[in-house]
Structure 1
Amino acid sequence: MILKRTLTFLLCLVSASVFAQDWNKKKCAVVLTYDDALNTHLDKVIPALDSVKLKGTFYLIASSPAFTKRLPEWRKAAANKHELANHSLFHPCDGRQPGRSFVIPDYDLATYTVRRITDEIKMTNAALEAVDGKKEHTFAYPCGDTKVAGVNFIDGLKNDLVAARGVQGVYVPKTETDVYNVGSFMINGQTGDELIAMVKKAMETNSMIVFLFHGVGGEHSLNVSLEAHRQLLQFLKKNEKDIWNTTFIEAAKHLKATASAKK
């Protein structure tokens, strides 16, 4: 009886340890994503990531000059295992929503058809493949908008996209996760300590956190300082035995590999 109880206790300990190390054998996953194809991503972010051997996912607008005029640099980033990902051809957003005065009529998602947004996303995939040579890509919804004329346009693109990132600020669990609308935390003005605290919560809850950056050190109204970003990277590097830093596509594949993931 004593031996049986001892074995049961040890099995419980092993199970708890496995659960706590469920993100590629680590306590949590951290995905660093950067939107809108900004020059600062090439000039500041990628060198900072490379300096500590961490990886990022860059959601690129295929028509952005920071993409079209700097293709060799994006190709180099992809060769160094950073993810080049799809943020659409023109970044259309629904201009009817509050705070959308920046939306111009030509690229107002409210006037799009499903066919148009689908074609533009597929064209962006083709542009990305021409740069990184990869046939698999993920997508991030511009402004977090998921529908055209009331239709979830991603439904017709699941054969073209591995997964998609949304903007809902949630810690991502290993169970019951919709890989075509994975939540993320939009970053704007947080300090390094605040960013680190967010990671610590992911570690405590054995979950994944996806950061959504735009400007880093400027170039966008949604911005975080270079110092805060640097502090976050240093923390991730210092704690890499417990934190799985990975790209969005690899995290999505990891989720898809679990039976409870919504594919």
Structure 2
Amino acid sequence: MIRLFLALLLAAPAAVCAQTTAWQGKQCAVVLTYDDAIDADLDRVVPALDSLKLRGTFYLIGSSPVVAKRLPEWRRAAQKGHELGNHALMHPCDGTLPGRSFVTPETDLSKYTVARAVSEIRATNTLLSAIDGRTRRTFAYPCGDRTIGGVDFYEPLRGDFVAARGVTKGLPTAAQVDLTNVACYSINGQSAEYMLDLVRQAQQTHTLLVFLFHGVGGGHSLNVDANAHRQLLRYLKAHERDIWVAPLVEVAESVKAQQAGAAPGKPSR
């Protein structure tokens, strides 16, 4: 019994070390993602992040007029270390699902072919590379939809991205992260305390926490209060010795390396 107790005692620090290696030796990783390329991203979010020297991931819709009209500002955001992620060219969603009255015939994913989806996503990568000069980035599934006629359209794109963010909730360890469908928490009206509680949970469990925001202080049908968002950023800054805050592309690269090292000869997902 004593030997078993000692073995467990010695194993505990090693387990924690393995969990935190992918998080740059910190307790957890937190990723701030912002969808749809809206004016609020450039007007409020980027300045708020820059003021605290924090970096996030902005998922841009290639056809968005906010991308076309404000290219220099997106380029400056990338130069400051923010990731410009791929949110497809037209943001197609499956219009056959409940609650999808906003989907138009032109943006109905159920009417796409896999080849068309892949082509439009790759075209968006070309656009993003022209803005930021980068070739490594992540993808975010529009509406969280992953299939066309039952076929996974991301499969042909695995080599084009470091990872893809989904919409399913979860706080995975580095070993548990699914790089083809990274879990996240979508924020729409929740309080600052709700978000801070999630961060504390991630700290305690040594896991990855990804936030999904749309409008911050307005600008979208899905919003978070600007003050609540500010409280979250201030907490992350105050605890930066314990929390790794980085764009998803950097965190995913670290996770991929950790998973590959933990399973020699087995390709990382």
* Range into which the TM-score falls when normalised by the shorter chain: over 0.9
Q: Distance in 2 between matches of 1:78 and 1:141?
A: 21
Q: Distance in 1 between matches of 2:45 and 2:136?
A: 23
Q: 1:25 to 1:119 in 2, by over 3 A?
A: same
1:151-162 equivalences in 2 (<5 Å):
151-162=151-162
- Counterpart of 1:130? 130
- Counterpart of 2:185? 185
Q: Distance in 2 between matches of 1:117 and 1:193?
A: 38
Q: Distance in 1 between matches of 2:102 and 2:8?
A: 60
What TM-score, normalized by structure 1, do the two folds share?
A: 0.94
Is the contact made by 2:16 and 2:206 (CA closer than 8 Å) also made in structure 1?
no
- SS in structure 2 opposite 1:84? strand
Q: 1:147 to 1:8 in 2, by over 3 A?
A: closer
Tell me the CA shift for residue 137 of structure 1: 1.7
- Counterpart of 2:194? 194
Structure 1's unaligned 5+ residue stretches are: none
Is the contact made by 2:215 and 2:222 (CA closer than 8 Å) also made in structure 1?
yes
Is the contact made by 2:67 and 2:74 (CA closer than 8 Å) also made in structure 1?
yes
Is the contact made by 2:28 and 2:244 (CA closer than 8 Å) also made in structure 1?
yes
1:36-185 equivalences in 2 (<5 Å):
36-185=36-185
1:217 is the counterpart of 2:243: no
- SS in structure 1 opposite 2:24? coil
Tell me the CA shift for residue 158 of structure 1: 1.1
The amino acid that maps onto 1:200 is R
**Deviation per CA, 1:101-128, whole angstroms, max 9, x where unpaired?**
0000111001000011000000000000
- SS in structure 1 opposite 2:137? coil
Q: Distance in 1 between matches of 2:113 and 2:10?
A: 55
Q: Distance in 1 between matches of 2:85 and 2:219?
A: 20
**Deviation per CA, 1:17-66, whole angstroms, max 9, x where unpaired?**
52463311000000000000010000000000001110000000011111
- SS in structure 2 opposite 1:21? helix
The amino acid that maps onto 2:234 is Q
- SS in structure 1 opposite 2:93? coil
The amino acid that maps onto 1:227 is N
**Deviation per CA, 1:133-158, whole angstroms, max 9, x where unpaired?**
00112100000000012110110011
Tell me the CA shift for residue 172 of structure 1: 2.1
Is the contact made by 2:19 and 2:173 (CA closer than 8 Å) also made in structure 1?
no
1:247 is the counterpart of 2:247: yes
The amino acid that maps onto 2:67 is F
What TM-score, normalized by structure 2, do the two folds share?
A: 0.92
Root-mean-square deviation over aligned CA pairs? 2.1
The amino acid that maps onto 1:191 is S
Q: 1:227 to 1:17 in 2, by over 3 A?
A: same
Tell me the CA shift for residue 13 of structure 1: 6.3
The amino acid that maps onto 1:68 is A
Is the contact made by 1:20 and 1:26 (CA closer than 8 Å) also made in structure 2?
no
- SS in structure 1 opposite 2:159? coil
Q: 1:112 to 1:64 in 2, by over 3 A?
A: same
**Deviation per CA, 1:85-115, whole angstroms, max 9, x where unpaired?**
1000000000011110000011100100001
Aligned residues: 261
- Counterpart of 1:15? 14
Q: 1:92 to 1:17 in 2, by over 3 A?
A: closer
**Deviation per CA, 1:181-217, whole angstroms, max 9, x where unpaired?**
1111110001111111110011111101000000000
Percent same amino acid among aligned pairs? 53
Q: 1:151 to 1:64 in 2, by over 3 A?
A: same
